[in-house]
Amino acid sequence: MSDGVLLLAATPLGDPDDASVRLRTALATADVVAAEDTRRLGRLAAALGVTVAGTVVSFYEDVERVRIPRLVDDVRGGATVLVVTDAGMPAVSDPGYRLVAACAAEDLTVRCLPGPSAVLTALAVSGLPTDRFCFEGFAPRPDGKRRSWLAALATEQRTTVFFESPRRLASLLAVAVEVLGADRPAAVCRELTKTHEEVVRGTLAELAAWAGERDVLGEVTVVLGGAVVVAPEPDELADEVLALVAGGQRLKDAARRVATERGVSTKALYEAALRAKQ
């Protein structure tokens, strides 16, 4: 008997019309459908006019580890196992990663049916740079961990995307102002693709004031602009170069080393060190 396949399928964030043809087909034909919320799966299938013929099993965080051995057995036995979460892509801050790892460890086939993603949707509409970005999952809840986490983003030059509960958004933004500064640009994306979709852009201070004045509802994705790092002037680094020269390095080698480490022009730093040496 040939092995089956594990399918990870992205589901709509809100609008059922965002469902792909491949998702509709998979829901109708999979042998097993592992759903984060079986009731939401039922509502999605009804909205799509699809009948789920396979066995439906719950696959939320608290039961994920328990379900994995049986689902791996199903794939090994030739079944098509479809994993769907409440919205977006399984395994991205949702159940699925551990099952993928278990199947990959046994060299079983894992495939993905791409589709909606809150991370990429928020990034695209944020108005912030998209060429380099990182995803941080959910923001930590305890104040101490939250402050440490934000402090680690103080020098992050990439755009950062993360999720937050609407109940904690105002407090997070207030702390972010303290840790990252009032002027750091950001965007709060709420209820993406849904009827009451809202994207609010501004500085952290402006967003903290906005969130503090209302009861924020719905799914929230925050996009944080990267830190702007200003390179020092070559003249400010000349003493570092000369200290290396005093330790035995050639001036050109010392200038090249410091320039690489500090992100400045080697030629400009070399000339600045020559001036300082005179």
> pLDDT (tens digit, 9 = 90+) per residue, 165-219?
999 999 999 999 999 999 999 999 999 999 999 999 999 999 999 999 999 999 9
The Cβ of residue 63 has, within 10 Å, a number of other Cβ atoms equal to: 13
Helix (H) or strand (E) holding 82: strand 80-84
> Over the stretch 25-34, which tens digit does the pLDDT of each residue have?
999 999 999 9
User: Per-residue pLDDT averaged across 75-86, rounded?
Assistant: 97
Q: How far apart are CA 168 and CA 217, in angstroms?
A: 11
User: Which pairing describes strands 5-9 and 109-113: parallel, antiparallel, or unpaired?
Assistant: parallel
Q: How far apart are CA 93 and CA 202, in angstroms?
A: 26
Q: How far apart are CA 208 and CA 199, in angstroms?
A: 14
Whether pTM > 0.95 for this model: the answer is: no
Instruction: Tell me the three state secondary structure of residue 32.
Output: strand
Tell me the residue type at 85.
Answer: T
- The residue to which tokens 């303290």 are assigned: 178
Residue 235 confidence (pLDDT): 85
> What's the whole-number average pLDDT of the chain?
94
Residue 125: which of 201, 14, 211 has the closest Cα?
A: 201
Count CA within 13 A, CB hemisphere, residue 123. Answer: 19
User: Per-residue pLDDT averaged across 30-47, rounded?
Assistant: 97
Instruction: Tell me the three state secondary structure of residue 270.
Output: helix
Share of the chain above pLDDT 90, in %: 83
Instruction: Tell me the three state secondary structure of residue 255.
Output: helix
Count CA within 13 A, CB hemisphere, residue 249. Answer: 14
Instruction: Tell me the three state secondary structure of residue 198.
Output: strand
Residues contacting residue 255 through CB under 8 Å, at least 6 positions apart: 241, 266, 269, 270, 273
Q: How far apart are CA 83 and CA 89, in angstroms?
A: 9
Q: How confident is the model at residue 1 (pLDDT cuts 50, 70, 90)?
A: low
> Over the stretch 92-133, which tens digit does the pLDDT of each residue have?
999 999 999 999 999 999 999 999 999 999 999 999 999 999
Between the alpha carbon of residue 215 and those of residues 39, 202, 211, the distances in Å are 27, 18, 7
Q: How far apart are CA 181 and CA 58, in angstroms?
A: 43
Q: How far apart are CA 37 and CA 202, in angstroms?
A: 35
